[in-house]
Amino acid sequence: MSYRRPRGLPIVDAMTPPVLVLPGPVTRDEVRGLSDDVRALLHGSSARVVVCDVGGLGPSGLTTVDLLARLQLAARRAGGRIRLRDPDPALRALLDLVGLRFEVEGQAEEREPALGVEEAVEPGDPAV
């Protein structure tokens, strides 16, 4: 059995955000180029989110925090934002420590309750 590739451009789901894979480790000289890549991905698609795959960045440090803050700034200036994919627990802890909040892929947003979770009401609680 053979499979013939269809003619034309591949079909891309409009709801799938573009992905930027961040190779590790990233030097300070590469930050400007990666910021340009984020802006280009946002301008080149109708998506307002760029997924940054940070799984290969290696050990987390302030250089990584600086990189992610600059990428988020570049995305905001282009009218979008970044979402992290596969962040190391140490990186998430470091981002929390310095006060930077990033959306993480597969995590419910703060304003949305997780699926299947209901708030319990204790007897005697005042009605709101």
- pTM of structure: 0.70
CA distance 38 to 44: 10
Q: How confident is the model at residue 91 (pLDDT cuts 50, 70, 90)?
A: very high
Torsion angle of alpha carbons 95, 96, 102, 107, nearest 10°? 120
Mean pLDDT of 38-59: 89
In the chain, the domains with their CATH numbers are 19-104 (3.30.750.24)
Mean pLDDT of 70-74: 95
Mean pLDDT of 82-92: 93
Comparing 107 with 4, the larger pLDDT belongs to 107
Task: Check residue 29 and give its pLDDT.
Answer: 84
Specify whether the CB–CB gap between 22 and 55 falls below 8 A. Answer: no
| Local structure of 82: helix, strand or coil | strand
